[in-house]
Amino acid sequence: MQTRVSSAFISKALSSSSSSSNLKDLRRIHALVISLGLERSDFFSGKLIDKYSRLGEPHSSLSVFERVSPAKNVYLWNSIIRALTQNGLFSKALDFYGKLRESEVSPDKYTFPPVVKACAGMSDAEMGDSVYEEIIGLGFGSDLYVGNAVVDMYSRMGLLGKARKVFDEMPVRDLVSWNSLISGFSSHGYYEEAVELYRELRRISWIVPDSFTVTSVLSAFGNLQVVKEGQGLHGFVLKSGVSSVLVVNNGLLSMYLKLSRPRDARRVFDEMVVRDSVSYNTMICGYFTLKMYEESVRLFSEDLDQFKADMLTVSSILRACGHLGDLRLVKYVHEYMMRGGFVVGTTVGNIMIDVYAKCGDKMAARDVFKSMECKDTVSWNSIINGCIQSGDLLEAMRLFKMMMMVMDEQPDHITYLMLLSVSTRLADLKFGRGLHSNATKSGICSNVSVSNALIDMYAKCREEEDSLQIFNSMETRDTVTWNMVISACVRSGDFATGLQVTKQMRNSGVVPDMATFLVILPMCASLTAKRLGKEIHCCLLRFGYESELRIGNALIEMYSKCGCLKSSFKVFERMSRRDVVTWTGMIYAYGMYGEGEKALAAFSDMEKEAGVVPDSVVFIAIIYACSHSGLVEEGLACFEKMKTQYKIEPVMEHYACVVDLLSRSQKISKAEEFIQAMPVKPDASIWASLLRACRTSGDMETAERVSKKIVELNPDDPGYSILASNAYAALRKWDKVSLIRKSLKDKERKKSPGYSWIEVSKKVHVFRAGDVSAPQFEAIHESLGMLYSLMAREGYVPDPREVTQNLEEEEEKRRLVCGHSERLAIAFGLLNTEPGTPLQVMKNLRVCGDCHEVTKLISKIVGREILVRDANRFHFFKDGTCSCNDRW
């Protein structure tokens, strides 16, 4: 009777949650079981195994099980397998399942949920498949709880196809079935499938979603940017009574922040009765992601006493401070971490280095770097980047060399990108080549971004061939690669290669971006490649870039330099937005064509346009336009307006424009007086403008005096030296000419040779002075001879003063003048185009006076319009006159 009473008491005690709620009480009950000789009882052993498991004592559970071994009751096997699984001992649980299968005891439907959970915990798909086969073989596949466990297992493993198959084959499903599958799809990034499942679930009237359903679907809605349904789910949360569940509210915060609706997130946050660290981290990190750095920092500062910040919190706050440049708060957070006993690991240390550098405290960044016990590549990159940001490029180079000595790991592509930018900025070719060598040895050169940076570095160090060599060796190229190499060609003046690469890019199928067009359009402008420029314009329309401000500005420049002033103006008129660059481009275009009045009108319109304030560059353009149209008083008025009304201090370029303005109108003495009165010492460019005017006007006395100044100021510049040499040649002072030319030869300096080009039948033909190898040279020579005969009847005599060599024979001088490149190009155009067709010729240097006179006569004789662009401006020749009115 006593035993019966005691057994009932123990059974009640083990079933009660209060009497066995702690380990001490449970051990007393266990001792009582043993004292009564009930330790081999299947019932009491099973209860003890379960109770020990719930109190986190799986080894005690094992001890109980071993006392009754070999167990002949599946209830005991189920109990120990479940106890081990509940405590995360998945491998041991599966071992016991194996022993069960080897015993004479058959598993039942309660065996498999913990076994399946153990397979999921081990992420052992092979074992999971094997167990599922056994479930089917034993006929438990239709059991709801077993099916739910299998769906959950496959979902956790990411085997969503198998999970869906098991789910679809289940004869009965409950909310757990749906939750397991929805959670699996959502947690593995298959948000659309998760949402579709949720929609299916909502069509089942007798199953009501719970907090687990909601949290999975909220994540899916947030990632899919589904605003309307997300708000609808929020409404369901409020109606269904799960709004008090903390994990649901945290899910709502995350969803609204992902939907870029921080106000809704904040409203939910403010209404939460209970918040945890996840709530605060979600808000702080969400604000940071949305670049709401001030809100992120404010929430942290105001509510720091309401929650315990963790490493995720301080990491986000530190980065937010870096963006705000709030050094004071960075130091406060750093001190908070020190007081709180935070272990500053490598990742957080790297963030602190970066943040201190962004806030301008280079010393604090270095202190953090030095204090780090474990530094990785990111640590070195962060401190190097800090030096670069502060402008200490030499220190960045020194740190890189130290990194190479002490680091076991190789620098990554980020390291090389940073250091290549240093090499580029310093134009340090030697250091750049060293980086290239190291990158090649480590295989980093295979990274497209690194190869692009190398192309850029070599191009800016004037090593175009090396840029092209890297480009040609690249197996993979992106749009940036093509942009870089085209830009390299443009920078070096190798437009032929630039055009070739542009054609390669078009044939390769690479999609150009806006930067591509901003590189190609200036090349078209420099080459006066009007046909290609128009093709590029069509591409811009197709890609939708024409409305971009910078593209519009580039098109204005391209068309104006290609001889299409009307097209420039059309682009200008269509632009919905204009900045000072737009107006400057249009004013400069008018100046190139001698349309000074239109340039002044455009300048006046610009002054009236809201939001556009003239800068120093636009005044260079307007004075230049006045200079090329003989509008001396207007140009001087603009110069004065710049100083008095707009308070812009003139620089050398402005003074040069004013000197040019006066000189072109033959106001030589005024120009010289202006130079003498300049508040800054005039450079060679100032005197050069005056010298050109002296030669044109025949004021050789002033020309000699100015030539001497130019040689004194800039003896090493071949352009200015040749200009002075030509002036001395006109004065027949051949000793001075020889002296200048010998000096240039000794210094191995050469002036760019003159050449002209013309596009005929979609092909560009280039001509150099006296080049007998030019295409159709004999026919060109014969054509020019006929034209010279006709010009002679008009009174034309070649001007031997344009010959700058000491030749005795006047006939030889005339022969040299008659062989100038622009004449060859014009004659070629006359031979290869239909009569009456306008010609367009480009020249890299200024047109000489004799060629200018010849072109006027040719336009009259052949009845053609001839547009010539030289280094200064456009000349429109028609019926024996030029648009420049002989001011060039």
Residue pLDDT, tens place only, 203-252: 998 999 999 999 999 999 999 999 999 999 999 999 988 888 999 999 99
Q: What percent of the chain has pLDDT over 90?
A: 63
Same-domain pairing of 740 and 794:
no
Q: Is residue 765's pLDDT more than 70?
A: yes
Same-domain pairing of 817 and 852:
yes
Which residue in the block uniquely carries the two structure tokens 């030499």? 394
Same-domain pairing of 772 and 837:
yes
Q: Strand 763-768's sheet: what is its strand order?
A: 763-768, 755-760, 839-843, 866-869, 874-878, 881-882
Asked if residue 822 is part of any domain, the answer here is: yes
Domain closes at, from 719, 751, 783: 751
Per-residue confidence at 771, pLDDT binned at 50, 70, 90? confident
What's 753's DSSP letter? P
Residue-number span of the structural domain to which 699 is assigned: 678-751
pLDDT the model gives residue 3: 47
Asked if residue 80 is part of any domain, the answer here is: no
Same-domain pairing of 761 and 874:
yes
- The DSSP secondary structure of 800-849, one letter per residue, reads GGG--S--S-HHHHHHHHHT-HHHHHHHHHHHHS-TT--EEEEESSPPPH
How many angstroms from the chain centroid is the CA of residue 764?
A: 36
Strand pairing category for 881-882 and 839-843 = unpaired
Per-residue confidence at 352, pLDDT binned at 50, 70, 90? very high
pLDDT the model gives residue 691: 79
Amino acid at 573: E
Query: Residue 539: how many CB atoms within 10 A of its CB?
Result: 16
pLDDT the model gives residue 112: 95
pLDDT the model gives residue 183: 96
CA angle 188, 245, 253 (to 5 degrees): 60
Question: If residue 35 lies in a helix (H) or strand (E), which one and from where to where?
Answer: helix 23-35
Question: If residue 157 lies in a helix (H) or strand (E), which one and from where to where?
Answer: helix 144-157
Same-domain pairing of 806 and 861:
yes
Amino acid at 711: V
**456-514 pLDDT per residue, tens:** 999 999 999 999 999 999 999 999 999 999 999 988 888 888 888 998 998 888 889 99
Which of 144, 164, 166, 163 is CA-nearest to residue 154? 163
**792-803 pLDDT per residue, tens:** 888 888 766 554
Same-domain pairing of 763 and 846:
yes
| Token digits of residue 451 | 């190869």
Whether cis (ω within 30° of 0) applies to the bond prior to 835 is: no
Per-residue confidence at 689, pLDDT binned at 50, 70, 90? confident
CA 81 to CA 112: how far, in whole Å?
9
- Per DSSP, the three-state class of 877 is strand
| Token digits of residue 847 | 């047109």
pLDDT the model gives residue 749: 54
- Per DSSP, the three-state class of 390 is coil
What's 71's DSSP letter? P
Burial of 458 (0-12, 13-18, 19+ CB in 10 A): buried
Which residue in the block uniquely carries the two structure tokens 């309401």? 306
Q: Can you tell me the mean pLDDT for 75-89?
A: 94
Same-domain pairing of 759 and 847:
yes
Per DSSP, the chain holds a count of helices (H) and strands (E) of 48, 6
Same-domain pairing of 822 and 738:
no
pLDDT the model gives residue 620: 96
Q: Which of 17-26, 468-477, 540-549, 833-842 has the lowest mean pLDDT?
A: 17-26
Which of 870, 861, 867, 860 is CA-nearest to residue 883? 867
Which residues, listed in sequence order, are joined to residue 763 by a DSSP beta bridge? Answer: 760
Which residue in the block uniquely carries the two structure tokens 């001890």? 63
Same-domain pairing of 717 and 769:
no
Contact between residue 283 and residue 265 where contact means Cβ atoms under 8 Å apart? yes
Q: Is residue 624's pLDDT more than 60?
A: yes
Q: Can you tell me the mean pLDDT for 393-406?
A: 92
Contact between residue 848 and residue 758 where contact means Cβ atoms under 8 Å apart? no
Q: What is the CATH number of the domain that holds 686?
A: 1.25.40
Cβ neighbors of 35 (< 8 A, separation 6 or more) are none
Which residue in the block uniquely carries the two structure tokens 């190798």? 494
Cβ neighbors of 498 (< 8 A, separation 6 or more) are 486, 489, 490, 523
Q: Is residue 4's pLDDT more than 70?
A: no
Q: What is the biggest distance separating any 2 CA atoms in the chain, rounded to whole angstroms?
A: 150
Contact between residue 861 and residue 869 where contact means Cβ atoms under 8 Å apart? no
Asked if residue 810 is part of any domain, the answer here is: yes
Asked if residue 847 is part of any domain, the answer here is: yes
Q: Which of 19-28, 179-188, 744-753, 798-807 has the lowest mean pLDDT?
A: 798-807
Higher-confidence residue of 808 and 532: namely: 532
CA 416 to CA 439: how far, in whole Å?
7
**131-141 pLDDT per residue, tens:** 999 999 999 99
Domain closes at, from 751, 772, 797: 751
Asked if residue 812 is part of any domain, the answer here is: yes
Same-domain pairing of 799 and 846:
yes
Same-domain pairing of 766 and 735:
no
Asked if residue 771 is part of any domain, the answer here is: yes
CA 426 to CA 432: how far, in whole Å?
10
Contact between residue 567 and residue 598 where contact means Cβ atoms under 8 Å apart? no
Same-domain pairing of 760 and 867:
yes
**What is the number of structural domains in the chain?**
2
Backbone angles phi, psi at 743, to 5 degrees: -60, -45
Amino acid at 776: Q
CA 617 to CA 624: how far, in whole Å?
11
pLDDT the model gives residue 415: 95
Q: Can you tell me the mean pLDDT for 773-802?
A: 84
Asked if residue 95 is part of any domain, the answer here is: no
CA 837 to CA 798: how far, in whole Å?
27
What's 20's DSSP letter? T
What's 445's DSSP letter? G
Cβ neighbors of 439 (< 8 A, separation 6 or more) are 416, 445, 450, 454
pTM for the model stands at 0.71
Which residue in the block uniquely carries the two structure tokens 């424009």? 657
Domain closes at, from 721, 736, 751: 751
Q: Which of 139-148, 260-269, 665-674 has the lowest mean pLDDT?
A: 665-674
CA 373 to CA 344: how far, in whole Å?
10
Contact between residue 516 and residue 483 where contact means Cβ atoms under 8 Å apart? yes
Q: Can you tell me the mean pLDDT for 821-845?
A: 93
CA 279 to CA 269: how far, in whole Å?
8
Asked if residue 475 is part of any domain, the answer here is: no
